[in-house]
Amino acid sequence: MIYLLRHGETEWNLERRMQGRRESKLTPLGLRQAAAMAALLHDLVAPEGVDGWRLVSSPLGRARQTAAAVAARLGLEPELDERVSEIAFGEWEGRLRDEVAPQHPELFASREWLVSPPGGETFEDVHARIADFLAELPPEPDRRVIVVSHGMAGRVLRGVYAGLSPRQTLEQEVPQDAVYRLMGGQIDRFDCEPIEEG
């Protein structure tokens, strides 16, 4: 079983700025989202005990901040793994989406911009490292892993798990207030209680 979550909202998410491998702290809402996802995971995992569970996080700060909330709630020590990091956006990192989109209208007409950053990683690059990560996990039913990742990397992880096409992978939602359970070849979504904006 794998529980997968995306980090909480960041300052750059709020600005619609492309993050990639750059750092951006969680907003106050992002911190509340992290706490809410940690509480939800506690409800999902704790009844049967946390023994044997691993908490794996991207080494990027926003994921580590979110993983810290999970670690505090479940008493697990986060392990950092570069393979679940966000896609590298190359020359677009740090730039506003609204600034870049008019320069590449053919890409931004679909979700293809997510995997076409100049100087960055390709879909195949991210797919390969995520597939490598999943291949190293124990088989079910011995697999007990919580993964804190990112928007694009989380899409690809679910896509690899479910055998989705690139297009299907890119079309998946990437909420910051929900947890996905990957088990028995099926993916289920669990939403947090509504989180106040203020």
Residue 127 clears pLDDT 70, i.e. is over it: yes
Residue 104 clears pLDDT 90, i.e. is over it: no
Active-site residue, from 9, 86, 93, 121: 86
Question: Residue 60 contacts by C-beta under 8 Å, 6 or more apart in sequence?
Answer: 7, 21, 23, 85, 86, 150
Residue 25: pLDDT band by 50, 70, 90 thresholds? very high
CATH code of the domain made up of 2-191: 3.40.50.1240
Supply the pLDDT for residue 194. Answer: 83
Beta bridge partners of 79: 56
How much of the chain, in percent, has pLDDT values that exceed 70?
Answer: 99
Q: Give the angle subtended at the CA of 83 by the CAs of 71 and 169, to the nearest 5°.
A: 100
Residue 198 clears pLDDT 70, i.e. is over it: no
Quick check: is 150 catalytic?
no
Say what the pTM is: 0.94
Q: What is the pLDDT of residues 35-44, one digit of tens each?
A: 999 999 999 9
Residue 73 clears pLDDT 80, i.e. is over it: yes
Q: Where are the domains of the chain?
A: 2-191
Q: 121 near 39, Cβ under 8 Å?
A: no
Residue 197 clears pLDDT 70, i.e. is over it: no
Average confidence (pLDDT) over 116-134: 93
Strands, sheet with 54-57, edge to edge from the N-terminal-most edge strand: 78-80, 54-57, 145-149, 2-6, 178-183, 186-191
Residue 190: pLDDT band by 50, 70, 90 thresholds? very high
Residue 108 clears pLDDT 90, i.e. is over it: no
Spell out a b/e string for 51-60, using b for 16 or more CB atoms within 10 Å of the CB, else e.
eebbbbbbeb
| Interatomic CA distance for residues 17 and 41, integer angstroms | 29
Supply the pLDDT for residue 90. Answer: 92
Quick check: is 77 catalytic?
no
Distances (CA, A) of 112 to 8, 102, 164: 24, 14, 16
